[in-house]
Amino acid sequence: MKKLLLSALMLALTATFGTAAQAAPQVLKVAIGDPADSEQGVAGISFKKYVEEKTNGKYEVQLFFSGQLGDETETIHNVRRGTLDVSCVGIANIVPFVKKLGVLTLPYLFDNLDDVVKGTNGASHDLLNGYAMKEGGFRVLCWTYTDFRWITNSKKPIKTMADIAGLKFRVPQSAVLIAAYKSFGANPVPIAWSETFTALQQGVVDGQCYGYIGIQAMKFMEANQKYLTECHYTYQLQPLIMSQRVLKKMSKEDQEIMIAAGKYAQDQVLKFQMEEGGKAKEALVKAGLVVDQLQDEAKWKEAAVSTVWPEMADFCGGKDAINAYLKSFGKAEWK
């Protein structure tokens, strides 16, 4: 009788602990370079919400903000290896891994936000994501919209191309953006995003470029950024990427949930950008930021397109690849 009771108890314990083990959520780690109150933060939080709700807690999405898991290049390497599940990174830092995504860094590629949205959905997304999966080893789940990269600096208002001459600007490690700043007459200095605040604070560079929400979230005014110019030379896209190695281990149903979560996050971050960008600008101006418009932006565009596009075409996958992308969202062919 004791043996029967002992056996029954062991079976019950096994069943109990077995059920608990099965119920333990699978952890997905997400690296995010910016703080939680940024567009990247909204993308990560929205992705987490969707995945955890739609899988009934099967997955636990852990968010690591402000570069806690390393700089962007490091996190891209880890996503490719499958040692990190998801990361949100600036497009310029992906280009060394997926050459054809360099098209998104070409100066004056997008005229307005409508162009940006068209260029990151439908056929355009499929084209870009195809490059990412084939060459990069990751899938683009979401395009994080972080506004045009407005130019800020600590020295003076920039209203014409002559005003930017000689100033030093932090840029990502992007050959295209470096060439763009040179075409404007500035001195670009490649610096890791995680080191940007300190570089600005210490005067290693005079300025940087980012959208209003990002400038506010990163507290760049505390790093002597007093002047901003609304220059539309590039729109900062920050894809949320997921390791193909991780994704392939999931069931088809779970894969579809991850992809749908990315689309949900993309919609949420666009809404956030449109609603909060103006509020961030208003708060920054109230805090003392001086905002100027370019008086000669046509000159900037002409300098960039006539110089940078021919120089960097091969770097971005070639003229055919550039025109294939332009065609995907209804833009005229580049002659």
Q: What is d(CA 171, CA 41) in angstroms, rounded to the nearest whole number?
A: 21
Q: What is d(CA 93, CA 194) in angstroms, rounded to the nearest whole number?
A: 13
Q: What does pTM read for this prediction?
A: 0.86
Helix axes 175-184 and 297-312, enclosed angle (nearest 10): 140
Torsion angles phi and psi, residue 171, rounded to 5: -135, 160
Q: What is d(CA 142, CA 149) in angstroms, rounded to the nearest whole number?
A: 19
**pLDDT recorded at residue 22:** 58
Q: What is the 3-state secondary structure (H, E, C) of 118-180?
A: HCCCHHHHHHHHHHHHHHHCEEEEEEEEEEECEEEECCCCCCCHHHHCCCEEEECCCHHHHHH
Which domains are seen in the chain, by residue range?
Answer: 23-328 (3.40.190.170)
**pLDDT recorded at residue 256:** 98
**pLDDT recorded at residue 120:** 97
* Six-digit token string for 23: 């119920």
Torsion angles phi and psi, residue 109, rounded to 5: -70, -40
Q: Is 3 helix (H, G, I), strand (E, B) or coil?
A: helix
Q: For each of the chain's 335 residues, which pLDDT tens digit applies? A: 444 444 544 444 444 444 444 579 999 999 999 999 899 999 999 999 999 999 999 999 999 999 999 999 999 999 999 999 999 999 989 999 999 999 999 999 999 999 999 999 999 999 999 999 999 999 999 999 999 999 999 999 999 999 999 999 999 888 899 999 999 999 999 998 889 999 999 999 999 999 999 999 999 999 999 999 999 999 989 999 999 999 999 999 999 999 999 999 999 999 999 999 999 999 999 999 999 999 999 999 999 999 999 999 999 999 999 999 999 999 999 98
Nearest CA to 171 out of 161, 183, 159 is that of 183
Q: What is d(CA 144, CA 34) in angstroms, rounded to the nearest whole number?
A: 12
**pLDDT recorded at residue 13:** 45
* Six-digit token string for 139: 């899938």
- The answer to whether residues 273 and 168 touch, using CB atoms and an 8 Å cutoff, is no
Nearest CA to 127 out of 279, 329, 330 is that of 329
Q: What is d(CA 150, CA 173) in angstroms, rounded to the nearest whole number?
A: 18
